[in-house]
Amino acid sequence: MKQQIPSLYRQAFASAAFYCVVLFFAIAPGCTPGHSSKQKNEPEKEAGYSFEEVEIRYAKGFTVKQYDTYRLIDISDPQHSDDTVYKYALVPKGTKPSDAIPPDYTVIQTPVERLICMTTLQLANFIKLDAVHQVVGMPSTHYLFNPEVKEQIAKGRIGKIGIEGNFDAELILSLDPEIILVSPFKRGGYEAIKDLDIPLVTFLGYKETTPLGQAEWMKFVAMLLGKEELGNELFAASEKKYQELEELCRNVSPKPTVLSGEMRSGNWYVVGGKSYLAEQFRDAGAEYFLKENQETGGINLDFESVYAAGSDADFWRLLVSHTGDYSYTVLRKSDSRYTDFKAYKERNVVYCNLRQKPFYEKAPVEPEVVLADLIKAFHPALLPDHQPVYYELLTRE
């Protein structure tokens, strides 16, 4: 027995030493041979950068592929399936872009802290995401409503970069933007700034054919800003409310017909029957007067064509830019033929005055509010307590 005791101690000591070594490597992964090369070669993610999953459900104009250290975003025209695709790789600042990123993708370091917006519809996303302070330039600073935007302009923190086709390249460089958001299918005039070595990032939210699809572009902007979680939360809240309102109108009867647009420069501009606006009328329990039309964008018609199709429409939706109070008198004076329309006679004109309402600054990212306005006009009994925000029935004679 005396000879066995030291042997037992030796075995116990050896076992204890073995488990100490195992425990050491378990709590010190940097020293583990299987992890050392990977950790040494992979750059650290910048503190605060979110890799939260971003799911796109409604927008047709962009797709997202998410990897461990970067995202690939493909952008295309949601109204036309052509070969034009704008490709961007979003890589967190402080990291080296992965060698796996395809060479035809423009690398954007995120979060972007300084950028230029080209349209108020783009600006709406930054207002929604509380990121106005990151906008350093815009083509136009007129007719803006947002107090923070106006303050930034007054303090010189948002510069006016010139008008489309005549941008001030030197001023743009002095603003030191990391990216410039552009809408390539508009008039644009971006040739003057293509050589500034500043990434031009395509934004096509305005071409989406559904209200929730347009609003979902806030997730794209959120990814640029490193605010994915906020973008997801804000969109989810908007989506939930929109769907509740849509359900409220699903079985409503009768469904009124709605005329839209007005004469300008000899033509009546209308949107097609498969457009964003036609979809929103349907969601509000109404029928667009050109519902059989298959176009997703806008079309120009002569007065006679519109009169034949829409003179008996129950409502008439107008988006106007009028200094002062809009009225039926103002509408009549713009074209006396309007008085022959049923909606005019029965005082069922639904309008939004862009000079008095921040429509383009907010409406693109809160479609549920626009939908509630339309329901209030078409079916007031469904939303008796709703106070119109953008669209309302015209009552002023």
CATH 3.40.50.1980 placement within the chain: 62-237, 250-393
pLDDT at 337 over 80: yes
More confidently predicted of 237 and 50: 237
Q: Is 47 left (phi over 0), alpha (psi -120 to 50) or beta?
A: beta
φ and ψ of 167, to 5 deg: -75, 150
Q: For residue 201, what pLDDT is reported?
A: 97
- Identify the helix (H) or strand (E) that includes residue 217: helix 217-225
Kindly report the CATH class assigned to 62-237.
alpha beta
pLDDT at 24 over 90: no
Per CATH, the number for 250-393 is 3.40.50.1980
Q: Count Cβ atoms below 10 Å from residue 64 Cβ, excluding itself.
A: 17
Q: What is the mean pLDDT of residues 126-142?
A: 93
**Farthest-apart Cα atoms in the chain, separation:** 120
Q: For residue 76, what pLDDT is reported?
A: 95
Q: Parallel, antiparallel, or unpaired for β 392-393 and 349-353?
A: antiparallel
Rounded to the nearest 10 degrees, the angle between the axes of helix 276-283 and helix 367-378 is: 60
107-133 pLDDT, tens digit each:
999 999 999 999 999 999 999 999 999
177-225 pLDDT, tens digit each:
999 999 876 555 677 788 899 999 999 999 999 999 999 999 999 999 9
Work out the pLDDT band at 273, boundaries 50, 70, 90. Answer: very high
372-385 pLDDT, tens digit each:
999 999 999 999 99
How far apart CA 95 and CA 126 sit, in angstroms, is 25
Token reading at 187? 């008039």
Q: For residue 1, what pLDDT is reported?
A: 41
Q: What is the mean pLDDT of residues 352-358?
A: 96
List of residues 6+ apart from 129 with CB closer than 8 A: 218, 221, 222, 225, 227, 230, 231, 234
pLDDT at 25 over 90: no
Q: For residue 357, what pLDDT is reported?
A: 96
Query: What predicted TM-score, i.e. pTM, was given to this entire model?
Result: 0.85
Map residue 23 onto helix, strand or coil. helix
pLDDT at 15 over 60: no
How far apart CA 201 and CA 224 sit, in angstroms, is 10
pLDDT at 325 over 90: yes
Token reading at 226? 């490193």
Q: What is the mean pLDDT of residues 315-341?
A: 97
Q: For residue 188, what pLDDT is reported?
A: 58
Helices (H), 111-193: 120-128, 147-154, 169-175
Q: What is the mean pLDDT of residues 145-159?
A: 93
